Structure 1
Amino acid sequence: MRIVMIGSGYVGLVSGACFADFGHDVVCVDKDAAKIMKLKAGGIPIYEPGLEDLVSKNVAAGRLSFTTELAAPVAAADVVFIGVGTPSRRGDGHADLSYVYAAAREIAGALHGFTVIVTKSTVPVGTGDEVERIIREVNPVAEFAVASNPEFLREGAAIEDFKRPDRIVIGIEDERARGPMEEVYRPLYLNKAPVLFTRRRTSELIKYAANAFLAMKITFINEIADLCEKVGADVQDISRGIGLDNRIGSKFLHAGPGYGGSCFPKDTLALMKTAQDHESPVRLIEATVAINDRRKRAMARKVLNALDGDVRGKTIGVLGLTFKPNTDDMRDAPSLSIIQALQDAGATVRAYDPEGMEAAATMLTGVEYGRSAYDVAEGASAVVLVTEWDAFRALDFKRLKEVMAEPVLVDLRNVYPPKQMEALGIRYSSVGRPSDSELARDAEETLAAA
């Protein structure tokens, strides 16, 4: 199949490289000349494990190429994917579809022969209808069908998710699109990946519903973690206890500082706005968004509490800046709100992240950047573990204690056992878990009351 991918960002580049690896001929198009030049030179504009090797292999095989020119590739294509950004629109929170519609207009002028145009970008219900209307308006004689094919890629595991998906969702209104879309994904039939063909509007809503549900699951366990801290329960045992129920499942039940990234924040907000516009409000999702927004900044209070309520004039080390490990994505990362709150309280912040510091420097001011976890800990009154990179999972605490002003660790990802930290002489605080000393104190108070 001859495939064109409009947009060479996260979704477009990963999808294009994987389609090429399936054996299709893929051209990735992007208006950003600097990005295309970098890709042609063998560089990768984003950090995603395995992506550089995948791109390099398929470029060398002649199946993957990059260009800023749309017309010629689209004219020769069987299927054209729209994989441009749909960020939250300033002012009202709706998804900004200007890039999608601009792509549709350009595609319309270049079509030659029957072509399937597929929205792979995350778009609100009805976007496919408007894409179809635009193309028909620009090129009334064009032979085409518009389909929806949302992506379900986790940053940090995108290639694995693309090649071994839980499901493939394809929304169509014109049956002529079915054959080409089946051919695009035929290599995955060997893996028996479930393929769900549905109506186009249903497909568009599936993506938003899936992300909103996962966001609610994260927010649920975070609220349970807050309750655990009040009553002396352990949220990790609760997560295991409820996650073993097959109806619930164990994924997305890890308490922490709240969700961030390129999908959950903007997609929950866009779904809220769509629901409000159709007078069918989604109250659970509205509550999820509000709770998550408050939680990020509230995590800074854990640091203040660990230092007796005062961080003014003190240095705080932050380990991890990206919203999750194995990505350089800083969009809506909890670290942004946490660091701002610490700075507002008078602290000096020194931070380290294996991949995210370049992006963080464009979003944060007044932050010092270290070269390692131990560099960040030098002279710090507390170290805050915000993102659970592998590099932070086996820290040398003897070395940390030697360089820190105070041996305080605030672990917002529950990476370390409280008992181990207390044995090492670390004043330790985590999320939704009482320390052994707290349990002992509660037991003494219970006995005294009896």
Structure 2
Amino acid sequence: MSSTTATAIPAELTQAPAAAPPALSRKAVTRVVVSSWIGNTIEFYDFLVYGLAAALVFGKLFFPTVSPLAGTLAAFATFGVGFVARPLGGLIFGHLGDTIGRKRTLVITLCGMGMATFLVGALPTYAQIGIWAPILLVVLRFLQGLVVGGEWGGAMLVVIESAPPGRRGMLGSIPQTGGFSGQLLATGLFALVALLPEDQMLSWGWRVPFLISAVLVAVGLYIRSQIEETPIFQATQAQVAKRTESPVTEVFRDSWRKLVLIMVLRFAESVPFFLATVFAVSYATTQLGVSKQTMLGVVMATCVLAFPMHALFGAISDKVGRRPVYIFGALVAVLGAFPFFYMLETNNFALMFLGYVLLINIGHNAINAVEPAFFTELFGPRTRYSGAAIGAQLGAIVAGGFTPFIAKALSAADNNGWTWVASYVVITALISVVAGFLAPETSRRDLSAE
């Protein structure tokens, strides 16, 4: 981290650990990776199931008094509220993760997410309690965002801090696929409930994916309780006890440039992902006449392919560095935006899947696989949780949360076309390309040193 500030920092807080922390056994590392992947899967299942519900049913259930377009926009806006809350979650849980520990903080985030998601599934609709229904929906979505804002940084961090130096990219990419396994679970359950007659789907079927969250969280809590605190955090606990200021304060004062860098880097990752998995599902089913089952099938196939692609790109980043892989993925997003929509228009499963492979499995997955190692390696151990979580979640607001809303508005302004939407992807991804060239290479960094 930067040390150019004029504010004096106690010497004991600026020193690296006297000795490198002991390496974990291979079995212990495997346990950490698996537990982080499962926990991240559950967290993102909870978060992403909301996106599918917003695209498919929330407009009718919670905003029935407005036009279909306005109802969809309102539903997507509530989806974005979760992203507004994510940086606040990064602040709160980043502070906790850098003070009370990574493991304890991750248990808190998992419990909080499960509670908020279950309550969404139990929420009365507009027809039952009127205006209170969308208000409570927004509140619960805010709580979801708050919790997931602290989950991502911690789940990635425990793996990166536990992994051998030459395998941080590959091992860190595995729990990152939790977003896809969560999407796979959410999409699979929605595909099943979508088979119900529409009246049953709208009355009770949509609730099932939310209510099942309670079972998943119970499993996740058991698994997460089995891991140990990371060796690097344990090695710095004596320094943490002597801390005179919040790690959040320290990050904003000393590392604000790194936070801005992470925010901009996230454009090429978040915009294509939420465009393809949320907006495109709604656009294809309402404007292009593609069946819901077909779109859900395409998304599920894309999620399955994401697992080997993440491991591949993560391993490559251990060999050639984080920056080259990141820049490659961002360039693919630039080149793949227009072909993605051309293939979507064909209403042909194979071609639509090919479009998703190009934009998501190659472009997005290259970026997404590298982010855990890339972002956490930018910071020292005392502020690593705060820095990675806050930077990533600030980027999530700008780049991810309102992408479905912005895309829907651009499409409406373009006479329900997609040219402006694809152009938006190209512009945001180009910004990330520039940021990638400006970013430092971090793959050889000693994580135990400040």
Q: TM-score, normalised by structure 1?
A: 0.27
Identify, as 1 or 2, the structure richer in strand: 1
Q: TM-score, normalised by structure 2?
A: 0.27
Identify, as 1 or 2, the structure richer in helix: 2
